Amino acid sequence: MRFEVPQFIEIEDKIFGPLTIKQFIYIAGGVGLSFALFNFLPFFIAIIFIIPVMALGVALAFYKPQDRPFINVLESAFNYTKGSKLYVWKKEPKKITKEEQAEKTVEQIVIPKLSDSKLSDLSWSLDIREKLEDEMKNN
């Protein structure tokens, strides 16, 4: 049994001449709103409003920034202005003094486990820390 696999499913059908149904609706909406503005407002005021309405209709129909429909860009802009925002800043590292640096080097020393006796390990680590602190004070 053979089945036909649909091809070109990402391309919308051209319904009204070279226009798809969405493009036709956007253009028709812009023309209709422009016609209503022209009939209800004085001529010079109507022209001021008709130009942005027609530009929006044409942009919705044909303009695709980064291969995305312009309506998605408008939706994203609306959601951005309406939604809450999270502001993130670059935290600058704090300046380290010599005393803090000495404490860090003492803390970073790894003391190996040489014996099974905890008391001897403790005394060995205290001796090492005292020597390091004396050296840091002398420098």
Is residue 73 domain-shared with residue 105, that is, in the same domain?
Answer: no
**Residues 77 and 102 both lie in one domain:** no
Tokens of 68: 């995305």
* Residue 65 resides in a domain: yes
In a domain, 91, yes or no: no
Does residue 27 fall inside a structural domain? yes
Q: Is the pLDDT at 78 greater than 90, yes or no?
A: yes
pTM above 0.75, yes or no: no
User: Does residue 57 share a domain with residue 102?
Assistant: no
Q: Are residues 23 and 78 in the same domain?
A: yes
Q: How confident is the model at residue 14 (pLDDT cuts 50, 70, 90)?
A: confident
In this prediction, residue 11 carries a pLDDT of 74
- Give the model's confidence band at 97: pLDDT under 50 very low, under 70 low, under 90 confident, else very high: confident
pLDDT at 139: 64
Rounded to an integer, the average pLDDT of 83-97 is 78
| Tokens, residue 33 | 């709103």
Number of compact structural domains in the chain: 2
Range of the domain at 58: 14-82
Q: How confident is the model at residue 35 (pLDDT cuts 50, 70, 90)?
A: very high
The terminus-to-terminus CA distance of the chain in angstroms comes to 89
Where does the pLDDT of residue 113 fall: very low under 50, low under 70, confident under 90, or very high at 90 and above?
Answer: low
Q: Does one domain contain both 61 and 33?
A: yes
Same domain assignment for residues 123 and 67: no
